[in-house]
Structure 1
Amino acid sequence: MIDVPMAIVAVDATGTVRCFNPAATALFGAALSLRPAVRIEGLIDGLALPSPVDEDALARFNGRGAGRAFLARQPPEAGVPVEVRVATFRVRGEPLMILFITDVSAREAAGATIEDLQQQVTRNWRLNSLGEIASMLAHELNQPLSAVVNFLDAARTLAGRELVDRSRVVHFITSAEQQAQRAGEVIRRLRALLARDSGFHAPEVVAEVVAEILPILSLSARETDAEVVVEVPDSLVVRCDRVQLQQVLMNLVRNAVDAPSNGRRRRVLITGAAIDRGLRMTVQDNGPGLDPDLRRRLFAPVTSTKPAGMGLGLSICRTIVEAHGGRIEVVPGTLGGAAFAFTLIDGDARVQG
């Protein structure tokens, strides 16, 4: 047989190897031989050749992703991923099958490397997002904690007087307790948010998913005196990764809040609705809108309109949305500014009740 990079092995109707090329020898090693005869199923883990062999069977086999399996090398426990395609021919009237076997280990390794890089980018983006959240939380916690100190200091001062007004002391202690509870609620919300970072899809009530991050979105909006409005049906349920959906929303809202001012108080509207096979959500604002030249490369990595922006936010949003089988795009809005819509394909999205 001709010496080509692709491994080629011919087998009879029982799967017994009848001949092969040097590339097949290099792939299988000493395990591939004619004496003693070997069966191809013993060399390719999980391989099931089409039987009976006809055009339809061959089309099904070759059209299902090329019969991927692991090839046994020497030593036997080693293996390499391959793709297999099959054709038929006759030699002196005997029907034989010829297997074209391609080593795809390099391709799979490259795919794994790309996936690892995407995960690293996602982790770094999450850390960056958490840094922003931590900064906002520090600002938010400063007020109640400072109030706790002031109320307790006032209570201590009153308690040190000869004539103690017990009602006022109790009032200050109660006020300090209320402020401490307020600070604790802020922390509890953050812990609840992070504790749900489980990385798997489950049925989620969309309104609850949004409500969980609304306090943090409001903190971000407060910095620019923006208003965040949510119009999502309480009964809308979709199967998704809860934290990843929250990441997409947080990033889109932050972009809307941080957009350049056009002289009006910024308003950000989050809407959601069930579609035929999943969920569609829109985040829009009443800002100046998007530069037409920017739209073509908006979702590409390292594209940002912010002086200190990393340019990864929208790219990560697209990665998350596409991992849910959906898409994200710029759409016409009703508020006059920028509007982004994305879908999460579920197949079981529904409105409860």
Structure 2
Amino acid sequence: MRNTAYQIIKVCNNPHMIDSRDSSVIAPVTGRRRLLIAVAAGLAILLLAGFGLAHWAAGRAGAQTAVEAQQNARAHASLLESELQKFRLLPRVLTEFPDVRAALADKSDAASRRLDRELEQLATRTDAAVIYVLDADGTTIAASNWQSPTSFVGENYRFRPYFRDAMQRGDAELFALGTVSGRPGLYLARRVNAGGDADGRALGVIVLKVEFDKLETRWADSAATTLVTDAAGIVVMSSAPRWRFRSFGALSARDRQRLRATRSYGDAPLDPLPLRRTGDVLRIGDQSYFQVAERVSLPGSTLRLLQPAEPARASANATARVIFLILLILVGAAIVSLLRLVERQALRQAAHEALEREVAARTRDLRAANDELRQASERQAETDRRYRAAREELAQASRLGSIGQITAGVAHEINQPVAAIRSFAENALAYLGRSEGDKARANLDHIVALTARVGAITGELRNFARRATAPLGPVALQSAIDGTLLLIGDRLRAQGIALDVELANPAATVHADRVRLEQILVNLLQNAADAVRGLEGARISLTAHGGDPVAIDICDNGPGVPADLKPQLFTPFVTGRPDGLGLGLAIASDIAKAFGGTLSIIPSPLGGAGFRVTLRPA
């Protein structure tokens, strides 16, 4: 078959080379059949691509609309909640206002007018629509709108549910249409008791009305339509004013009768919106929306955000059309190329050889590319290995640097037993000279004990200086802390620093490497010692808490960590000391992470800086 194709191309490139053998190979019927097959395949591809792109566009539009709707719904619900929280505290505060209780107690005109002026000032400052006080019979005795033509003074609101509920339960909330102003709003009511006692006699109710015109205007800036519906499904707030006091679904006769009796929405017809639901898609009139509902703290209310589906659908369809057009061009170009190939019908043996060479060249290129990829992978592995080695070298350098700081203390720790060993040895020689073997043997026992002490100190220093190549495993927390104090304890004592060590569980073990764990503790204790250096009453505490995870807290009573350094304190080369390199905490944090734990800043109970190392229990 391949030789036949080469024969066709050879003839197309040079028609004069056609002979009887080539003519039998390039039969027109074969070319036309191949062309028809190619055209049919191209059309099938276009048909499948069209269906696939249509499905993709619908899915993309739905997903995009859903994400936008959820984000907008949360943002709008947050705006509403912040507005509610701003006003809900005010009625509670006003019930403790002496003038409110005084006006309700004596009901004199002078007290009511004084309260009118105070409520007027308060409403202006807080941006409340109106604040008014009802007596025990539901009659308004004072209101912030007392000078307005629509003043509430003298009006009786005994029929309002918020009055009855507040008198019974202590507080109430109701979204309703104002009977005097005709404006919708949220009524926040709270009962006023005699003497301010919750069990005292009910004097009346203080009511604050909140209107949400500004909030609805802010909602209207969004492309989505935002609604708030009450428990009956009535739209009480809306960024589209034409939908206010319409219902999501038909109202029952009982609900209509209840709403009419309380005059919650005045004479509004409460007609249902023309809704048609298809899954999450909601059609209102000729518009499609994606609906997202968010619960809000209004009693029985729900915030509904209707995100228009058409913009995202139009965008996705436009993208699908562009992709389909590109695919159409590509398929058309392929068919044209095949047609030209069939029309030319030329093939030469040299083309076969050239093709073989091209294949061989491509194979070489592929091999070379494969070799490059393999070398790149090896280089990456080598880079990772060098990084890990460099990190360990840095930790080792940090340990060796720490040894330079603790050498003086360790030397002092060793000098004392060495001097004692010499004294005991000289005394033993004297005792032997006087044939007092028992006394000589006692001195030799003391020398053995002191030698063990020197060996423990030098062994701890040698272990601390070695490379940490041991695998992670159980480490006794008490042993690691004892080893740390062997290395740095004398420095703390020399500086007059009081060290408090407290282990909740002395037998606790953690998943770590002892050398690197001691490195963390040495770094933190040295930093604490530097922080309290020269401070009167210097103190450091080391506390270990059991559990999962195990927490080790190291705190001091120094000046603490500056606030501007806290966010980047564990970053290399960040330090608060003029002579510091800024590597100790970064290395300690890396080691803790390698153990599967953390190193973080905590408040110090001593008033200075505090650090916590958390480790997995072994």
CA positional deviation for 1:315: 1.2
Partner of 1:212: 483
Q: Residues 151 and 292 (structure 1 numbering): CA distance in 2 closer, same or farther, change over 3 Å?
A: same
Structure 2, unmatched stretches of 5+, are 1-357
User: 1:292 aligns to what SS in structure 2?
Assistant: coil
Structure with the higher helix share, 1 or 2: 2
Partner of 1:242: 514
Aligned-residue CA RMSD (Å): 3.7
The answer to whether the Cα contact below 8 Å between 1:158 and 1:164 also exists between their aligned partners in 2 is yes
The answer to whether the Cα contact below 8 Å between 2:540 and 2:555 also exists between their aligned partners in 1 is yes
2:374 pairs with one of 80, 84, 102? 80
Q: Is 1:127 matched with 2:400?
A: yes
User: 1:219 aligns to what SS in structure 2?
Assistant: helix
The answer to whether the Cα contact below 8 Å between 2:471 and 2:513 also exists between their aligned partners in 1 is yes
Alignment of 1:33-48 (within 5 A): none
Alignment of 1:131-170 (within 5 A): 131-153=404-426
CA distance in 2, matches of 1:157, 1:294: 63
State the structure with more CA Rg.
2
CA distance in 2, matches of 1:110, 1:151: 57
Residue type matched to 1:207 in 2? Q
Q: Is 1:338 matched with 2:609?
A: yes
CA distance in 2, matches of 1:302, 1:221: 26
Decide which moves more: 182-191 or 117-126.
182-191
CA positional deviation for 1:205: 2.8
The answer to whether the Cα contact below 8 Å between 1:225 and 1:266 also exists between their aligned partners in 2 is yes
Residue type matched to 2:605 in 1? T
CA distance in 2, matches of 1:326, 1:176: 43
CA distance in 1, matches of 2:400, 2:488: 17
Q: Deviations over 1:68-118 (max 9, x none)?
A: xxx5x3xxxx9716xxxxxxxxxxxxxxxxxxxxx6566555444433332
CA distance in 1, matches of 2:532, 2:362: 62
CA distance in 2, matches of 1:214, 1:262: 21
CA positional deviation for 1:313: 0.9
TM-score scaled by length of structure 1? 0.60
Decide which moves more: 137-146 or 234-243.
234-243
Q: Is 1:257 matched with 2:596?
A: no
1:26 pairs with one of 365, 382, 401? 365
CA positional deviation for 1:303: 3.2
Partner of 2:595: 324
CA positional deviation for 1:252: 0.3
Q: Deviations over 1:155-179 (max 9, x none)?
A: 556777xx88878766766655554
Partner of 2:387: 114
Partner of 1:295: 566
CA distance in 2, matches of 1:113, 1:171: 55
Partner of 2:541: 269
Decide which moves more: 297-306 or 184-193.
184-193
Partner of 2:458: 187
Q: Residues 292 and 24 (structure 1 numbering): CA distance in 2 closer, same or farther, change over 3 Å?
A: farther
User: 1:318 aligns to what SS in structure 2?
Assistant: helix
Q: Residues 23 and 289 (structure 1 numbering): CA distance in 2 closer, same or farther, change over 3 Å?
A: farther
Partner of 1:5: none
Residue type matched to 1:266 in 2? A
Residue type matched to 1:148 in 2? I
TM-score scaled by length of structure 2? 0.37
The answer to whether the Cα contact below 8 Å between 2:414 and 2:454 also exists between their aligned partners in 1 is yes
Decide which moves more: 235-244 or 186-195.
186-195
Residue type matched to 2:570 in 1? F
The answer to whether the Cα contact below 8 Å between 2:478 and 2:506 also exists between their aligned partners in 1 is yes
CA distance in 1, matches of 2:530, 2:363: 60
CA positional deviation for 1:26: 3.5
The answer to whether the Cα contact below 8 Å between 1:261 and 1:288 also exists between their aligned partners in 2 is no
CA distance in 2, matches of 1:271, 1:300: 25
Q: Deviations over 1:290-343 (max 9, x none)?
A: 222332332222334445443321111011112223322211121111101122
Residue type matched to 2:518 in 1? Q
Alignment of 1:212-231 (within 5 A): 212-231=483-502
Q: Residues 294 and 173 (structure 1 numbering): CA distance in 2 closer, same or farther, change over 3 Å?
A: same
User: 1:331 aligns to what SS in structure 2?
Assistant: strand
The answer to whether the Cα contact below 8 Å between 1:236 and 1:273 also exists between their aligned partners in 2 is no
CA distance in 2, matches of 1:331, 1:150: 49
CA distance in 1, matches of 2:363, 2:406: 56
Q: Deviations over 1:130-151 (max 9, x none)?
A: 3334443222111221232244
Q: Deviations over 1:255-306 (max 9, x none)?
A: 1112144743322222223454x33221111222122233233222233444
CA distance in 2, matches of 1:325, 1:105: 28
Residue type matched to 1:343 in 2? T
User: 1:243 aligns to what SS in structure 2?
Assistant: helix
Partner of 2:326: none
Matched residues, percent identical?
27
Q: Residues 171 and 108 (structure 1 numbering): CA distance in 2 closer, same or farther, change over 3 Å?
A: closer
Structure 1, unmatched stretches of 5+, are 1-18, 33-70, 82-102
Q: Deviations over 1:37-92 (max 9, x none)?
A: xxxxxxxxxxxxxxxxxxxxxxxxxxxxxxxxxx5x3xxxx9716xxxxxxxxxxx
CA distance in 2, matches of 1:195, 1:297: 30
User: 1:204 aligns to what SS in structure 2?
Assistant: strand
Q: Residues 251 and 28 (structure 1 numbering): CA distance in 2 closer, same or farther, change over 3 Å?
A: same
Residue type matched to 2:557 in 1? N
Q: Residues 334 and 28 (structure 1 numbering): CA distance in 2 closer, same or farther, change over 3 Å?
A: same
